[in-house]
């Protein structure tokens, strides 16, 4: 079943359920970019996948729905400084190799995007999957288009771990908690499950256009051609 999302209902619902009654222009733009990509590439896929993709972006971007750097720093240099300080003080005990340190070409492979893409090997893998050369310019992961592609295609294909969306949300499984393993183990898994279910409640089919709406759309296309 192809899903065309009722955008008005979607934004009204998430505004109250997840954004404390207020949506910024940037939050709307970010969610719109994800919805547009979904409807263009995989409109007949499981809507729970879309809901969990949105939940992941919601969490990983600190609710901004905009591509961000790890630590939310505005520059690579500041992000590296914050990460170095945290590493030196023992706050990143799970990190064996400081992946954020600039390499011989001066490039840092710190987290970027709508889902935090880290380590050069992951930039390489996502370059192959998306067709976007993130190795030549890792900052492209901070652009909305590439960031959406990385987020969606990476979660669908299981590029971030050995888990993909279809492993946990399928015809026989409705495992919102373990879906977190697609990106980051079980970190905040219960919270992400709740976010996903809230987004799912906002996803519904758009009502079919009325005769008047179809006529307006046709007139708009005619006027656009005449004005060209």
The string of pLDDT tens digits covering residues 66-77 is 999 999 999 999
Instruction: Tell me if the pTM is above 0.85.
Output: yes
**Amino acid 180: pLDDT:** 97
CB 6 within 8 A of CB 205: yes
For residues 5 and 7, what is the distance between their CA atoms, to the nearest angstrom? 6
Q: What is the chain's mean pLDDT, rounded?
A: 93
Across 33-62, b (16+ Cβ under 10 Å) vs e yields bbbebbeeebeebebbbbbbbbbbbbbbbe
**In degrees to the nearest 10, what's the CA dihedral of 43, 54, 195, 206?**
-40
**Amino acid 216: pLDDT:** 73
**Amino acid 207: pLDDT:** 67
pLDDT tier for residue 220 given thresholds of 50, 70 and 90: confident
The string of pLDDT tens digits covering residues 36-74 is 999 999 999 999 999 999 999 999 999 999 999 999 999
Mean pLDDT of all residues in 181-192 = 95
Judged by DSSP in three states, 182 sits in: helix
């Amino acid at each position: 079943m192809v899903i065309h999302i009722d955008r008005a209902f979607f934004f009204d619902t998430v505004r109250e359920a997840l954004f404390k009654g207020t949506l910024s222009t940037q939050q709307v733009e970010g969610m719109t970019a994800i919805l547009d990509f979904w409807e263009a590439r995989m409109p007949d896929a499981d809507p729970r996948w879309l809901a969990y993709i949105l939940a992941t972006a919601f969490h990983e971007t600190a609710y901004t729905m905009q591509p961000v750097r790890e630590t939310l720093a505005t520059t690579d240099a500041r992000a590296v400084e914050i990460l170095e300080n945290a590493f030196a003080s023992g706050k990143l005990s799970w990190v064996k190799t400081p992946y954020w340190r600039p390499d011989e070409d001066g490039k840092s492979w710190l987290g970027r995007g709508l889902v935090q893409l880290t380590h050069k090997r992951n930039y390489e893998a996502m370059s192959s999957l998306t067709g976007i050369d993130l190795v030549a310019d890792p900052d492209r992961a901070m652009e909305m288009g590439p960031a959406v592609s990385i987020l969606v295609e990476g979660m669908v294909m299981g590029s971030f771990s050995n888990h993909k969306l279809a492993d946990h949300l399928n015809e026989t499984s409705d495992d919102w908690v373990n879906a977190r393993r697609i990106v980051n183990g079980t970190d905040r898994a219960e919270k992400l499950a709740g976010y996903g279910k809230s987004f799912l409640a906002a996803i519904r089919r758009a009502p079919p256009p009325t005769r008047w709406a179809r006529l307006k759309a046709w007139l708009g296309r005619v006027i656009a051609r005449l004005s060209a």
